[in-house]
C-alpha cells in the first residue's frame, strides 16, 4: 500500500473519530440532557448500538493505518529524542495509545455494568482533549524544529 493511500485512510478515519467524539461531547450530550428520562434512555440505547457497530471499524482502521505509518518512521522512532520530528511523533503516538487505553477502559466499564453517565462524559472529554493534542502535534511535526 502506498504511503499516500495509507495517510489518506488514516486521516479519513481520524476525521470520523474526532468528528464523532466532538459531536458527542459538544452537541449531543448537552442536547440530550434537555430530554425527559425515557426518551433520553431510548436515544442513548439506539446511539450506543449504532456507535458500537461503526466506531469499532473506525478505530481499527485508524490504528491499523497509524501502525503502517509508524512503520515508515521506525528509524526515527528508534531514537525519538534525536530530532524534533521524532520527539513530536513519539508524543503523538503516546497520546494515541492513551486514547486506546480510554477506549479499552470504556469497554471494560460497559461490560461490567460500571459505566455511568458521569464516567462516560469524563472519558469522552478526556479523549477529545487528547485528540486536540494529537491534531496540534501532527501539525507541529512538520512546522516546528529545534
Residue 115 phi, psi dihedral angles, 5° rounding:
-70, 125
Within a domain: residue 41? yes
Domain tally, the chain: 1
Distance CA(131)–CA(21), nearest Å, equals 9
Distance CA(77)–CA(87), nearest Å, equals 8
Within a domain: residue 127? yes
Q: In terms of C-beta density within 10 A (0-12 exposed, 13-18 middle, 19 or more buried), how is residue 74 classed?
A: exposed
Q: What integer pLDDT is reported at residue 117 of this predicted model?
A: 85
**Domain range for residue 136?**
3-70+88-143
Is-contact 103 110, C-beta < 8 A?
A: no
Is-contact 95 133, C-beta < 8 A?
A: yes
Within a domain: residue 77? no
Within a domain: residue 83? no
Within a domain: residue 43? yes
pTM (predicted TM-score): 0.89
Cell numbers at 86, concatenated: 521524532
Within a domain: residue 42? yes
Within a domain: residue 82? no
Within a domain: residue 80? no
Distance CA(1)–CA(128), nearest Å, equals 30
Cell numbers at 73, concatenated: 518512521
Q: What is the pLDDT along the chain (146 residues), one digit of tens a residue?
A: 799 999 999 999 999 999 999 998 999 989 998 999 999 889 988 988 898 889 889 999 999 999 999 999 999 999 999 999 999 999 999 999 999 999 999 989 999 999 998 999 999 999 999 999 999 999 999 999 99
Amino acid at each position: 500500500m502506498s504511503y499516500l493511500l495509507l495517510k489518506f485512510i488514516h486521516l479519513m478515519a481520524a476525521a470520523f473519530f474526532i468528528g464523532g467524539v466532538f459531536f458527542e461531547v459538544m452537541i449531543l450530550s448537552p442536547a440530550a440532557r434537555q430530554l425527559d428520562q425515557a426518551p433520553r434512555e431510548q436515544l442513548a440505547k439506539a446511539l450506543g448500538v449504532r456507535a458500537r457497530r461503526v466506531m469499532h471499524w473506525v478505530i481499527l482502521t485508524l490504528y491499523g493505518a497509524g501502525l503502517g505509518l509508524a512503520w515508515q518512521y521506525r528509524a526515527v522512532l528508534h531514537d525519538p529524542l534525536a530530532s524534533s520530528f521524532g520527539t513530536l511523533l513519539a508524543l503523538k503516538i503516546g497520546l494515541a495509545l492513551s486514547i486506546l487505553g480510554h477506549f479499552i477502559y470504556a469497554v471494560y466499564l460497559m461490560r461490567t455494568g460500571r459505566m455511568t453517565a458521569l464516567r462516560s462524559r469524563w472519558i469522552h472529554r478526556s479523549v477529545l482533549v487528547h485528540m486536540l493534542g494529537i491534531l496540534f502535534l501532527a501539525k507541529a511535526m512538520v512546522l516546528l524544529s529545534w
